[in-house]
């Protein structure tokens, strides 16, 4: 159910407020463009700067718009365990198909603390849970042994979005976890390598602007057409790298603005791109074929 190209959807703002109509348009865009699941309120959705009311409203809107035509994996993580439980309960009540929970950030818990955090959430909310491991954002790396222990003990912990950047660690997760445990890429640059070690797909940033291409790459790999999958991967790679010239989601939101997909709008402390990086982003988009080249 949770595989292929799953988009970490942006949260569109208009004059600083949640743009509900645009969010619904973006959900419909993904429904028409081979996206296999929608993930609202993740890092790319600027969850850190959403109020609790906004966070809940975004999830409700995505679920309501999706109308069970596509799975919704709601971002419900927090560095406050009680808040994570509240958000996860709300996601279930709203009709989300699963919850994505980031490892607690800033607190820097031990492996035991991580285990106890996710244990309590899994015991309190009966919804499929996908762990989200991204030490670059949280300052703590959840070890494969901790992930495997949780996966074996709690049936509703069904997978992990791995963004550690460490393929050896990801392979260990696959080796130690249950056979049906879902290994999902959290880094567009590592999706194809991750598929080769047993991954099932990606929760993607770049799929916000090229959803069909990301979906096609995963599909071609699954069909055994590695040559075609590599071709798509290497075509995408410069554009993917451009998505991270500055802190995500600055670049992807800027790209969407350039493409007319949403209004400009980032919440502080995120800010507009540096001019030099902006020009690099536009060049990557032009080289990919997303922008028309000027006639001589």
Active site residues: 132, 161
**Cβ-contact 6, 37 below 8 angstroms:** yes
Q: Quick: pLDDT tens for 258-287.
A: 999 998 789 999 999 999 999 999 999 999
What integer pLDDT is reported at residue 293 of this predicted model?
57
Q: Quick: pLDDT tens for 66-99.
A: 999 999 999 999 999 999 999 999 999 999 999 9
Q: Quick: pLDDT tens for 115-152.
A: 999 999 999 999 999 999 999 999 999 999 999 999 99
> What is the pairing mode between strands 157-162 and 129-133?
parallel
Phi, psi of 254 (to 5 degrees): -65, -40
**Cβ-contact 131, 149 below 8 angstroms:** no
What one-character-per-residue DSSP string does 188-207 give? GGGHHHHHHTT--EEEESGG
Grouping H, G, I as helix, E, B as strand and the rest as coil, residue 243 is coil
> What is the pairing mode between strands 129-133 and 182-185?
unpaired
Tell me which fold the domain 4-223 belongs to: TIM Barrel (3.20.20)
> What is the pairing mode between strands 73-75 and 17-18?
unpaired
| Contacting residues for 207 by C-beta, under 8 A, at least 6 apart | 5, 6, 7, 8, 30, 35, 214, 215
Q: Quick: pLDDT tens for 33-44.
A: 999 999 999 999
User: What pTM does this model have?
Assistant: 0.94
What integer pLDDT is reported at residue 264 of this predicted model?
77
The strand ranges marked E within the chain are 4-8, 13-14, 17-18, 37-39, 73-75, 98-102, 129-133, 157-162, 182-185, 201-204
**Cβ-contact 10, 40 below 8 angstroms:** no
DSSP at 143: P
Grouping H, G, I as helix, E, B as strand and the rest as coil, residue 38 is strand
């Amino acid at each position: 159910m949770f595989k292929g190209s799953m988009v970490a959807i942006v949260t569109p703002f208009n004059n600083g407020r949640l743009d509900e109509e645009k969010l619904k348009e973006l959900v419909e865009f993904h429904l028409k463009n081979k996206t296999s699941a929608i993930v609202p309120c993740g890092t790319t959705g600027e969850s850190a700067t959403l109020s609790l009311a906004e966070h809940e409203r975004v999830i409700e809107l995505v679920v309501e718009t999706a109308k069970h035509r596509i799975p919704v994996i709601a971002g419900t993580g927090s560095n406050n365990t009680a808040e994570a439980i509240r958000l996860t309960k709300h996601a279930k009540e709203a009709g989300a198909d699963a919850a994505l929970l980031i490892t607690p950030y800033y607190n820097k818990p031990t492996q035991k603390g991580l285990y106890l955090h996710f244990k309590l959430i899994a015991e309190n909310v009966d919804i499929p849970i996908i762990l989200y491991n991204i030490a670059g954002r949280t300052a703590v790396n959840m070890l494969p042994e901790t992930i495997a222990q949780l996966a074996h003990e709690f049936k509703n912990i069904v997978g992990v979005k791995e963004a550690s950047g460490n393929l050896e660690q990801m392979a260990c997760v696959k080796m130690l976890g249950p056979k049906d445990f879902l290994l999902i890429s959290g880094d567009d640059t590592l999706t194809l390598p991750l598929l080769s070690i047993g991954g099932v797909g990606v929760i993607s940033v770049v799929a916000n602007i090229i959803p069909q291409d990301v979906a096609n790459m995963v599909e071609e790999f699954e069909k055994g057409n590695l040559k075609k999958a590599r071709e798509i991967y290497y075509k995408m790679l410069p554009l993917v790298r451009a998505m991270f010239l500055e802190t995500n989601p600055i670049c992807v939101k800027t790209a969407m603005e350039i493409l007319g997909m949403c209004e400009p709008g980032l919440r502080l402390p995120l800010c507009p791109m540096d001019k030099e990086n902006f020009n690099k982003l536009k060049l990557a988009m032009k080289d990919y074929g997303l922008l028309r080249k000027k006639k001589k």
